[in-house]
Amino acid sequence: MAIETERKFLLKHLPSALLTRGIHICQGYMVNKKDRVVRIRLYGDKAFLTIKGPSCNASRKEYEYPVPKQDAMEMISLFCKKPLIEKTRYQIEFKGFEWVVDLFSGSNKGLVVAEIELDTVDQVFEKPDWIGQEVTHDPRYFNSNLIKRPYSTWK
């Protein structure tokens, strides 16, 4: 069984390290319920099918499998609700941890979040100076909810 433990934050400002290459991501949801999510993701020139269980204290079961890119494109077209999640992902190393910064586009343009994956919920880590408010437990920031209520519709 795979367990994903991650924490999510808003940014105070964009780090200069973002001036490096990012990877474009397009993802759609075939199943999008509170207790389970099935998503298909195009990640650069690769594609993945991901199944996630419910979140509990920043952790959840997650299973991810590579799929042929052409199959993923068809699944997105045929089975995923719109709008899709579109973003550019940047990876930044800081004090022994990899931070992922997502700059959203499309209907979520303007939203920028950073995530860090941890081994345990209580694992200690140092935050870079560009990390702001934590939004790990705010469901508005879940990608699966951003297709239901895009950032562009928030007031």
Q: What is the pLDDT of residues 69-108, one digit of tens each?
A: 999 999 999 999 899 999 999 999 999 999 999 999 999 9
Q: What is residue 59's predicted lDDT score, i.e. its pLDDT?
A: 85
Beta-carbon-side half-sphere exposure of residue 40 (alpha carbons within 13 Å): 18
For residue 135, give its domain range. Answer: 3-153
Rounded CA separation 145/150 (Å): 8
CATH of the domain at 52: 2.40.320.10
Can 63 be counted among the known catalytic residues?
no
| Amino acid type, 11 | L
- Cβ-contact 30, 75 below 8 angstroms: yes
What is the domain count for the chain? Answer: 1
Smallest CA-to-CA distance from 62 within 48, 82, 74 is with 48
What's phi and psi for 8, nearest 5 deg?
-125, 140
1 pLDDT exceeds 60?
no
Question: Can you give the pTM of this predicted structure?
Answer: 0.91
- Cβ-contact 128, 6 below 8 angstroms: no
Catalytic choice (29, 43, 65, 90): 29
